[in-house]
Structure 1
Amino acid sequence: MSFSSKPQPEANSKVLIFGAGNFGSCLASHLGDSQHDVYMWAREEYIVKYFNLNHRNPTYLTDHEFPSTITAVGPALPDAGLINEVDVLLFAIPTQFLRSTLEILRPSLNINNLPLLIFVNKGIEVGTHALTLEIIADTCGPDIAKLATFISGPSFAKEIVERLPTSVSVASFTEAEADKAANLFHQPHFRCYTGTDPIGIELSGALKNVYAIASGMSDGLGYKNNTRAMIITRGLSEMTVIGSAYGASPLTFLGLAGVGDLFLTCSSSNSRNYTVGYRLGQGEKLDVIMSTLGSVAEGVPTTKGVKKILEELDIRAPIANAVHDVLFNGKDAKTAVRELMELPPSRELELAPTAGGPGHQLLVKLGLAGAEDAPEAVARF
């Protein structure tokens, strides 16, 4: 039996956003400006009260006045009544908190009256090194996971609320769900491109943060444009190798969620992950940086997950390994750069031969492939 989310209204959808951080707030503003009715859940009571009184977020995008079509809710998680009333559930909470949140919400989800599910978090779960797709399957079941839609791409929050031209990738195993999400967000200043490789979209969004840390370290050490261009290009190569070995399409990494987001986050001090790297390059300690950053840098915990994936797939990704050594093994950033440059010459472009391992296992869990199928079959999704 095939499932789908409830039919979406042609206009004025009701949207519940989990997360009132930088990106959750900016998407709430975008959808509110588009005349949708938006509920934005925050875990901090003072944010809920302040937002509803002033139409401003006291912590993120503080200079922006939000549309009156947005209502903040919380700190308790919304009840089943609101969840089943809305047309869309959008998750903009850090990946490390997603499993516990979905476990609480699962009893309120009705597969026969399911809202459109959209996820914009970017990361790999620490401990399990699971992608969001697998977290959804574990907590909500494969039927719901197959309907999940993912949005990723070069999209700084501040520029979205300023209505500057932005494009993103929207992907789901169920193409009709991706189309629904694209139609919800699509505006003259916000263009959506759909696809059917959510594994690749997820890996792109997670991995690019690791290389943004590397780029920030390079700039913090005083290196210039040549070095940054090298990190971006070799970072894209490593992302593609990791992704194709995992089971994603290599083409996904050439899109907005791949090279587009990688270029953005590696090139701007507005990126939290770039900022972490820059401060490391300047000589600051990681614990000091994280305690004073003021927001979550998903690349730090993601680097641990990437390290596990590299070991599991037995593939080389020297830059990702170097970032892990600096973050968690106490290696000096300048030493890490010197060791990378001293590596012997190697082939520039070569995909790993073990395509489809974890990705194939995930497809089996979702019922999209059989255990007996060849792992390479994952490439068609």
Structure 2
Amino acid sequence: MPPSSVSHKKFKVLVFGAGNFGSCLADHLGDSGHDVCMWSRSADLVKTFNETHHNPECLKDHVFPSTIKAIGPEFPSADVTKSMDVLLFAIPTEGVRATLTALRPHLDDEQLPLFIFVNKGIEIATRSLTLEIIADTCGPKIATVATFISGPSFAKEIVRRQPTSVSVASLSESHAEKASQVFHQPWFRCYTGGDPVGIELAGALKNVYAIATGVSEGLGFENNTRAMLITRSLSEMTRIGAAYGASPLTFLSLAGVGDLFMTCSSPTSRNYTVGYRLGKGEKLDDIIRTLGSVAEGVTTTKAVRKVVDELGVDAPIATAVYGILYEGKDLQETVQRLMCLPPLRELQLPEQAGSHVKRLMQKLGLS
């Protein structure tokens, strides 16, 4: 891509979260010429990062640009928040509601920053997507312009400037385009879209299916089985998304099949690793305790099971993952049960769809 096609506008960005993905995106944005603050609850991380330009908790060997400043552990003040052009949220979905609730009093409704979310998951207690959490905590005005970035993007490869592409979606086309301008570089391509619900569902669901693929590999199954699982997982994701009210085409995007393929086929994936170790006979509690980072698919599986039941969607793979994680189902018996299901029509969308999205759009004041 010619350098002239890359935006050179400089933004002030506040990143909420200093984990793997928050750190790698802060690194990308800092290296792209933006002024970046990265908030962490860890006083030790903030001190070490500002003194050494290293993150002591993740991506430990990487040297971060001097254009990034760590702040915390105190929550960012109103003055800091109001000085920012972009607020980037890279925290687990279970922490989004509390963070936005604390942030809301600091916002100036007449001069709002650009909101970008990169978390992937569904809130367990409410079964809410992040878009719904934003509407509940910050109101419809902010929710309708919030943007979501998702796609096949491992943190370790982003900081090495490996060619990467992502989906950027919002109900507001202009805000999706602005978020794309913030991130777009020759090593990090952005493609915009208008289906944030589909992007969110794809990002949450693929982690559940990565666990299934990891289990398969841990049990010793090979290429035929992996290809089958990824393809049938895509079919399930699309069916769940369509029943929810998302566009089926979204699941053919970078945030859909792209992220699913990567997460289900790489040992670098934390969710795949959880499944693989389960397949090797380890206990879930031991895996979580020693994993060293968050595998959102483990908690997301709980919410997905409830969503599937509410929608009345046939999702045997996702249901099987729930059984393995939370009902103590035997792995070999689960495999046998899935393989003994009766023949089915390969591609089939639900006859009635969209009730969840319709309710959400009504909450946002949109038709």
TM-score (norm 2): 0.97
The offset of 1:76, in angstroms, is 1.0
Deviates more, 1:210-219 or 1:353-362: 353-362
Q: Which residue of 1 aligns with 2:146?
A: 148
Q: Which residue of 2 aligns with 1:4?
A: none
Supply the AA of the counterpart residue of 1:240. Answer: T
| Separation of aligned partners in 1, 2:271 and 2:346 | 26
**Paired residue for 2:114?**
116
What's 1:311 paired with? 309
For residue 354 of structure 1, report the CA deviation from its aligned partner. 2.1
1:174 aligns with 2:192: no
| 1:31 paired residue number | 29
The equivalent residue for 1:253 is: 251
Residue 97 of structure 1 is matched in structure 2 by 95
User: Distance in 2 between the 1:178 and 1:138 partners?
Assistant: 21
Aligned to 1:112, the other structure's residue is in SS state: coil
SS at match of 1:117: strand
2:66 is aligned to: 68
1:216 to 214, 217, 229: 214
Give the paired residue count.
361
Q: Residues of 2 paired with 1:336 and 1:46: CA distance?
A: 44
5 Å-filtered alignment, 1:70-85, equals 70-85=68-83
Give the aligned residue type for 1:367.
G
* Alpha-carbon RMSD: 0.8
Rounded Cα–Cα distance in structure 2 between residues aligned with 1:14 and 1:166? 23
In the alignment, structure 2 segments of 5+ residues that lack a partner are: 1-6
Q: Which amino acid aligns with 1:348?
A: E
CA offsets per residue over residues 103-153 of structure 1, 9 Å max, x none?
111101112111100000000001111000000000001111001000000
| Aligned residue in 2 for 1:3 | none
For 2:359, the aligned partner's letter is Q
Q: Which digits, 9 at most, give the CA deviation of each residue in 1:291-316, with x for residues without a partner?
A: 11111111111111111111111110
Q: Deviations over 1:48-101 (max 9, x none)?
A: 011001101011111110000000001111011010001000000000011011
Q: Which residue type is aligned with residue 282 of structure 1?
A: K
Alignment of 1:263-342 (within 5 A): 263-342=261-340
Task: Give the TM-score of the pair, scaled to structure 1.
Answer: 0.94
Q: Which amino acid aligns with 1:272?
A: R
Which amino acid in the other structure matches residue 61 of structure 1? L
| Aligned counterpart for 1:15 among listed residues 13, 31, 47 | 13
| CA offsets 1:166-216 (integer angstroms, 9 cap, x no match) | 000000000000000000000001000000000000001000000000000
Letter in 2 for 1:294: G
Structure 1: how far apart are the matches of 2:77 and 2:51?
23
Q: Structure 1: how far apart are the matches of 2:105 and 2:167? A: 30
Deviation digits for residues 294-339 of structure 1 (CA, Å, limit 9, x no counterpart): 1111111111111111111111000000000000000122221111
Match of 1:354 among 341, 347, 352: 352
Whether the 8 Å contact between 1:168 and 1:192 is mirrored in structure 2 is: yes
Distance, in Å, in 1 between the alignment partners of 2:102 and 2:236 is 36
Does 1:48 pair with 2:46?
A: yes
C-alpha separation between the residues in 2 aligned to 1:34 and 1:251?
Answer: 31
Q: Read off the aligned partner of 1:176 and give its amino acid letter.
A: S
Query: SS of the counterpart of 1:111?
Result: coil
Q: Percent identity?
A: 67
What amino acid maps onto 2:20 in structure 1? N
Is the contact between residue 313 and residue 354 of structure 1 (CA under 8 Å) also seen in structure 2? Answer: no
Task: Assess if the C-alpha contact under 8 Å between 1:153 and 1:256 holds in 2.
Answer: yes
Asked if structure 2 preserves the Cα contact closer than 8 Å seen for 1:96 and 1:125, the reply is: yes
Give the conservation status (yes or no) of the 8 Å contact 1:197–1:249: yes
Q: 1:198 aligns with which of 186, 196, 199?
A: 196
Partners of 1:81 and 1:313 in 2: how far apart? 44
Provide the rounded CA distance (Å) in 2 between the counterparts of 1:240 and 1:159: 28
Counterpart code for 1:283: G
CA–CA distance in structure 2, aligned partners of residues 229 and 66 of structure 1: 37
Aligned to 2:4: none
What is the Cα deviation at residue 10 of structure 1? 5.3
CA distance, structure 2, for counterparts of residue 346 and residue 177 of structure 1: 41
Shift of 1:230: 0.6
Instruction: Give unpaired runs (5+ residues) of structure 1.
Output: 1-8, 370-381
For 2:3, the equivalent position in structure 1 comes to none
Matched residue, 2:124:
126
